[in-house]
Amino acid sequence: MVEDARHALESVSLAPSPVVAAIDLGTTYSGFFYAYRRDPGNIYGEYNWPGQVEAIGRPYCKTSTTSLYQETSPGGGWKLLEIGYPAMLRHLDYLGPGQDTGEGRQVMLSRVKLYLASVEYARGGEGLQLPEGLTVRRVLSEYLAEMGAMAVKEIQAKLGAYIKKSDIQWCLTVPAIWDEPAKQEMRRIAEAAGLIGPGASPHPLLIVLEPEAAAVYCDKHMAAARGGIKRGDVFLIADVGGGTADLIVQEKMDRSLREVSRGSGDLCGGTYVDGAFLEFLGDRIPCLERFLDAHPRQMVLLMSWWEQQKRGFSGAGNPVVFDLPARLAAMWEKEDSEVFEDRDRLIISPAELRSIFDPTLDKILALIDAQLAASPKCDQLFLVGGFSQSPYLIKRVTDTFAHRVANIVTPPEPGTAICQGAVLFGLDPSIIAERTSRKTYGIKCDRPFEKGDPEEKKFLHEDHGCFYVRGSFHVFVRNGEQVPVDSKISHTFNPSRLDDTQSSVTLLTTDKRNPKFADDNGVEESFGFSIDLGIMPRGQRSFDVQMKFGATSIEVAAFRKGLDDDDDPVEVKVVRFEKRFANSRSY
């Protein structure tokens, strides 16, 4: 989607918000932190969530990213009942014996955020299927609306009842490895949730990249670890959460950070270890899937037990014992009675546990190895994110990379690093001084013919009396190039013919570093617009196209030479990259 950006430019004149609040909407767990702008040294968060004691028995900075819905009418009518830990507990009661289900069936949804990670996942490639009548946008926006309401209530209780929604600058974290359509879909989800817009906050939503937020947090709060982060130090952030591993390398400048190399990541968080555990269990107990289908409450109890084992496993130690439910033991013995085995319990050895973890951990280690190989040096490595608390992950990272990185650190509360870092970024976005472009951006244009150009694109330019080619990719910035935040790059263009009174501007994007033409494989046309050149004298109809990089969107402006000044472009557009979701029923 492309939006007129004049309203965005006007929003710059808004006075800074009194409060900055960040929501980390994670794959498995979500939370919020906030700070008073005039007291930036104190960042507050929620550690006592509803249902937390009953669900996990300990304080934690996040609640479960689960939503419980009840069917109100056949064929797609649903209402949200609960989110977070209360959703888990209420659904567990619903699945218990003797429960009256006359009010309509319930469904508990989790891991919905992963639908945004890729088109393949969104089209059902990895398990989760939404009931008819529920969409990803609705589920996530309703969850976010509830989370935002809790945050506002907590902010008012802590900072003062006079704080209004309009006083809050909202920040929302997203994985850096997501493509632009996924990031912009999160913006629309925030709008649908009522965080921003009419009746809410007038301050533009800040989309904060999760590893960048973690880097800001480590820069501010982990500086004292073994000598601290000094000017010129290069450090790697490995943000390992429930759904993704997201890596970025930053260099410490005087008062800011700069991205050293192109970030990387993959879908290889703790959720995939959970999947490997279920696959392992299914191989050992052939009737497990049918048992869980018949007794869905047992799935909730099983995964709760596994979460405790996963959190404590260090790679060695004693085997773990899973006491089988009596009905599962009876079903297993009935179906496989020829093989003698104690069917009341299942003993899982440390070697078997390692085999469950290792495929995911191998991917994470490969990502770290590639980032270290791409960086000239790395002084420190910070493990953050919920899954980074895994003792086995910490051990494998330390054993593998201690000879290459002198200081490998896991913060005391790695699950808070992203959300607290997002608040710090919201308080001072200038702390990120330079980013690495993840794509090549340019404009479609005609240019003089060069040796080796395709003959089929060649044409005689009558005004210039020489050969040109059509549809060239005119590059503004290349994939992997360093781009200072808020930098502006301008190039001058002319209409195709001297008599033209209109000229088109078409933004091109690709992963390739050296694209040649707009119709090359992998090149996409993101948007186009026209400029009116009719009031300019024939032969003087030139214009500048300016791209502003560094934010979470790209601002493209057009200026007619001699008519428009830097403060008043004839056309301003912001790339919202909507089209990936246009035809997806899931959204």
pLDDT in tens, 232-265: 899 999 999 988 899 999 999 888 898 888 888 8
**Same domain membership, residue 513 and residue 546:** yes
pLDDT of residue 578: 39
pLDDT tens, residue by residue, 137-170: 999 999 999 999 999 999 999 999 999 999 999 9
Q: Please give the average per-residue pLDDT across 315-340, as a whole number.
A: 83
Q: What is the CATH number of the domain that holds 449?
A: 2.60.34.10
Per the model's pLDDT, the better-predicted residue between 544 and 24 turns out to be 24
Residue type, 414: P
Spatial separation of the C-alpha atoms in residues 378 and 223, rounded to whole Å? 15
**Same domain membership, residue 557 and residue 415:** no
pLDDT value at 128 more than 90:
no
**Same domain membership, residue 295 and residue 178:** no
In a domain, 6, yes or no: no
**Same domain membership, residue 181 and residue 233:** no
**Same domain membership, residue 146 and residue 295:** no
The b/e string for 449-467 (b: 16+ C-beta within 10 A; e otherwise) is: beeebeeebeeebeeeeee
In the listed set 204, 225, 246, which residue is the last one of a domain according to the structure? 204
In a domain, 7, yes or no: no
- Interacting residues of 278 by C-beta distance below 8 A, sequence separation 6+: none
pLDDT value at 80 more than 90:
yes
Chain-centroid distance of CA 35 in Å reads 22
**Same domain membership, residue 214 and residue 167:** no
**Same domain membership, residue 387 and residue 288:** no
Global pTM reads 0.84
pLDDT value at 383 more than 80:
yes
**Same domain membership, residue 311 and residue 245:** no
Q: Please give the average per-residue pLDDT across 442-465, as a whole number.
A: 91
**Same domain membership, residue 392 and residue 341:** no
Query: Around Cβ 232, how many Cβ atoms within 10 Å?
Result: 11
In the listed set 397, 428, 459, which residue is the last one of a domain according to the structure? 428
**What is the count of structural domains for the chain?**
4
User: 77, 85, 189: which is closest to 138 by C-alpha?
Assistant: 189
In the listed set 356, 378, 408, which residue is the last one of a domain according to the structure? 356
| Residues of the domain holding 290 | 270-356
**Same domain membership, residue 139 and residue 55:** yes
User: 72, 84, 373, 382: which is closest to 210 by C-alpha?
Assistant: 382
pLDDT value at 119 more than 60:
no
In a domain, 3, yes or no: no
**Same domain membership, residue 566 and residue 482:** yes
Spatial separation of the C-alpha atoms in residues 233 and 320, rounded to whole Å? 42
Degrees to nearest 5, angle at CA 400 with 227 and 178 = 85
